[in-house]
A = this chain, B = another copy of it.
Amino acid sequence: MDQIDTSKYQNIRRSIDESWINVHPIQRGGILPSESKKALLSFADGYSTCDFCLEGRIDLVKTPPVFDFADDVAKFLNMDEVTFTPGARGAKQAILNSITKPGDYIVIDSLAHYTTYIAAEVACLKLSEVPHSGYPEFKIKAEDYAAKIEEIKKETKNLPAAILLTHVDYRYGNLADAAAVGKIAKEYGVPYILNAAYTAGIMPIDGKKLGADFVVCSGHKSWASSGPIGILATNYEFSKKTFRTSTIKGPWSGRSFTKKYVNIFGCPPVFGAPIVTLMSSFPHVVERVKHWDEEVEKIRRLIKELERIKDFHQLGQRPHQHTLVSFETPSFHKISKTHPRRGFFLYEELKKRKIAGIHAGMTKMMKLNTYGLTVEQLQTVADAFHEIARQYGVEVE
């Protein structure tokens, strides 16, 4: 073995702490309340949640109360059964593995997260994409799901194996009409997967009301959890299939593992930090979804403030329905062309003001998320942008 210099792994610390205003598009919903940091430290060691494991599966552990928790999360989402997965991505793979076979079609929205595409690739599925409306709103129309289902019926004489809708997409923060897609799913009798990675945990979700057969959530994205952890919620119709347990048998030893999930690695790999923080943040999450309207109001105010800058245009739905939002910012892009730091000037100007989370180097467009920031913090963000604009001769109305 060569000598390894391990000094660079000593004192690893995050450079952005609570004194910063962080508008990172994927980080706002995953910030831990202080209570969960204490729980995290208490359960810091690997397998720490397995002290009293009797059944060999984390979702059946009673101390700490994971078993009850799975049930309470199901209630919270108004679904029948829940388990936990290594990220929402893991939930999508488990679902597709359980209800499709290679060569099947699934219909997805064209704003889907990349992990939806990868899950389809792993399961060897054919994709049909529901188009979006293009610039500037990029909307998904629910009725296009019906059109795509009809297309597939015509081509294959069969229905697609599933349809998947991204409730709020990661690019524009558009809120899709999940209930309308649910109706179409029901009419055709096609299983309906709702990717609620950007909604469940920050806004109220009622899976049954939306007609979802599966609701997929992300703990680190929207449930104030360290993660990585996903939530896979389904109804009684599918739970047996998706949560099926092992039937393999050792041909010589006769060993079998009848309690272990096939589609989620046996015991879901979420023990320790992920499940403990998800669980300990749950009281906070149950409470915070009641205040979603205030969050929407705040982002709308910020959009208004930022659009005072010349050539700043919010992309996606108007009025906006989510704290994740994209802007095209050609006036700032123009600055980058002659600035010695090129596209990095914006990132660096914001950094000076202790504002983090805008993608470094990008000025053509920008994306941010304000979930959980205060009115005052958002005013600081608006002021910073105005200041930077003026500093570089861009008009602010």
Contact = CB atoms under 8 A, between A and B. Distances in A.
A225 B46 contact: yes
Contacts of A131: 252-253
Interface string A66-83: 001100100110100000
Given A16-B51, A115-B266, A9 B282 contact: yes
A283 B121 contact: no
Nearest first, the 10 A-B pairs at minimum CB distance are A46-B220, A30-B46, A86-B86, A6-B283, A228-B269, A87-B269, A129-B252, A273-B273, A121-B248, A89-B265
A283 B9 contact: yes
Interface in A1-34: 1-2, 4-17, 24, 26-27, 29-32
Interface stretch (A36-44, A304-312, A381-389): A36-44
A192 B321 CA distance: 52
A90 interface: yes
Contacts of A64: 12, 14
A40 B206 CA distance: 34
A99 interface: no
B129 A90 contact: no
A255 interface: yes
A279 interface: yes
Interface of A: 1-2, 4-17, 24, 26-27, 29-32, 35-48, 50-52, 54, 63-65, 68-69, 72, 75-76, 78, 86-87, 89-90, 93, 97, 110, 114-115, 117-118, 120-122, 127-131, 204, 206, 219-221, 224-228, 246-248, 250-253, 255, 257, 260, 262-263, 265-266, 269-274, 276-277, 279-280, 282-283, 286, 356, 360
A306 B171 CA distance: 62
A276 to B, nearest CB: 6
9 contacts: A11-B39, A13-B38, A14-B48, A14-B51, A30-B45, A117-B248, A117-B250, A117-B257, A227-B272
B12 A39 contact: yes
Contacts of A270: 228
A340 to B, nearest CB: 20
Contacts of A1: 75-76, 78, 204, 206
Contact of A265 (B86, B219, B271): B86
Contacts of A89: 265-266, 269
Nearest to A13: B42
Contact of A4 (B37, B54, B76, B246): B76
A48 B18 CA distance: 12
Contact of A6 (B45, B220, B282): B282
B27 A39 contact: no
Contact of A72 (B4, B37, B87, B283): B4
Contacts of A4: 72, 75-76, 286
A44 B253 CA distance: 43
B47 A35 contact: no
Contacts of A10: 35, 280, 283
A195 to B, nearest CB: 14
A277 B117 contact: no
Given A10-B280, A87-B265, A118-B265, 7 more contacts: A1-B76, A8-B68, A9-B282, A12-B276, A27-B47, A27-B48, A228-B270
